[in-house]
């Protein structure tokens, strides 16, 4: 499938594929389903981020301290809204073993729900552990699952880990629908080429476009975008993807 869908936070830009944190939909300690429905009608597809940056300071998500039933969330989500519930080890290496266990436990609990992204977690930058973890998940994966690959957002270069893990996942996954969380722009071309090779329905997300992607933008507008320059920074980022001969939907 010669396309790549790009998700990102939609505030201040015009796009069709939104990545939005779960906190955005919590009102008075409860899920605001009407707000989720509103976003599902505004965007073609929405992915809800449960709040991975919270893990930098703690081994749990904030919503877990509230009276929110995750299974209920999965049952009420519109058909174009998806959500993972994994714990990326690269957010806090000291909790790595715990995060890997919790991620797999949640996968077993929620894998039957169509709106759940079954995200595979492993030890950070460890290809042997990635393969072991992938095989463990893949025993339960079917063609109906939306598979997620995490633990890659802190790898900014095309490393051997990226090459081997992507090739392995795309080659052996029982599902052809795969999302990669936080992938660096430098890795897009390789991943896109492999998705074509293995006929993968590919989507990725990141918010790294908020920093200048070329020297011209950096010189004229600074390293980081402001409210008034968000659309400009986003447009330049999309252009930089397209220059890699990637058919990107955004």
Residue 1 has pLDDT above 70, yes or no: no
Measured between alpha carbons, how far is 221 from 130 in angstroms, rounded to an integer? 40
Please check whether residue 135 lies inside any domain of the structure.
yes
Rounded Cα distance, 176 and 250, in Å: 20
Question: CA nearest 91: which of 134, 127, 129, 49?
Answer: 49
With respect to residue 100, please indicate whether it lies within any of the assigned structural domains.
yes
Counting the structural domains of the chain, the total is 1
- Going by the DSSP 8-state scheme, the letter that residue 215 receives in this structure is H
- Could you report the per-residue pLDDT of 46-75, keeping only the tens digit for each? 999 999 999 999 999 999 999 899 999 999
Identify whether 221 is part of a domain.
no
**pTM for the predicted model, two decimal places:** 0.96
Alpha-carbon gap, residue 100 to 91, rounded angstroms: 12
Torsion angle in degrees (nearest 10) through CA of 233, 238, 244, 247: 180
Q: Give the pLDDT confidence of 91-146 residue by residue, as tens digits.
A: 999 999 999 999 999 999 999 999 999 999 999 999 999 999 999 999 999 999 99
Per-residue pLDDT, 154:
85
Cα-based distances in Å from 225 to 212, 213, 230:
7, 11, 6
Q: Is 235 within a domain? A: no
Q: How far apart are CA 192 and CA 131, in angstroms?
A: 20
- CB of 202 closer than 8 Å to CB of 191: yes
What pLDDT is stored for residue 164 in this prediction? 97
Q: Could you tell me if residue 74 is inside a domain?
A: yes
Q: Has residue 227 been placed in a domain?
A: no
Assigned domain for 213 exists: no
Query: Which DSSP helix (H) or strand (E) runs through 38?
Result: helix 33-42
Owning domain of residue 16: 4-205
Q: Is the pLDDT of residue 190 over 70?
A: yes
Which secondary-structure segment (H or E) carries 117?
strand 116-120
Q: What is the pLDDT of residues 145-185, one digit of tens each?
A: 999 999 888 898 999 999 999 999 999 999 999 999 999 99
The reply to whether 225 falls in a domain is no
User: What CATH number has the domain bearing residue 59?
Assistant: 3.20.20
Percent above pLDDT 70 for the chain = 100
How many residues in total does the chain contain? 250
């Amino acid at each position: 499938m010669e396309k790549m869908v790009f998700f990102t936070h939609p505030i201040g830009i015009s796009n069709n594929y939104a990545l939005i944190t779960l906190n955005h939909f919590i009102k008075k300690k409860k899920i605001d389903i009407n707000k989720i429905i509103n976003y599902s009608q505004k965007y073609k597809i929405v992915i809800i981020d449960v709040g991975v940056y919270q893990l930098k300071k703690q081994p749990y998500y904030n919503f877990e301290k509230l009276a929110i039933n995750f299974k209920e969330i999965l049952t009420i989500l519109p058909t174009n809204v998806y959500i993972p519930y994994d714990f990326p080890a690269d957010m806090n290496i000291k909790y790595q073993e715990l995060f890997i266990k919790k991620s797999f436990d949640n996968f077993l609990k929620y894998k039957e729900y169509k709106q759940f992204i079954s995200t595979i977690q492993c030890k950070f930058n460890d290809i042997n552990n990635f393969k072991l973890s992938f095989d463990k998940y893949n025993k339960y994966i079917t063609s109906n699952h939306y598979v997620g690959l995490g633990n890659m957002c802190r790898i900014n270069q095309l490393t051997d880990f990226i090459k081997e893990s992507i090739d392995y996942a795309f080659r052996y996954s029982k599902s052809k629908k795969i999302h990669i969380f936080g992938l660096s722009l430098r890795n897009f071309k390789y991943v896109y080429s492999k998705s074509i090779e293995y006929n993968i329905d590919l989507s990725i997300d990141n918010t790294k476009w908020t920093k200048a992607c070329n020297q011209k933008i950096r010189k004229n507008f600074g390293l980081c975008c402001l409210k008034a320059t968000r659309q400009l920074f986003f447009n330049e980022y999309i252009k930089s993807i397209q220059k890699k001969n990637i058919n990107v939907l955004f």
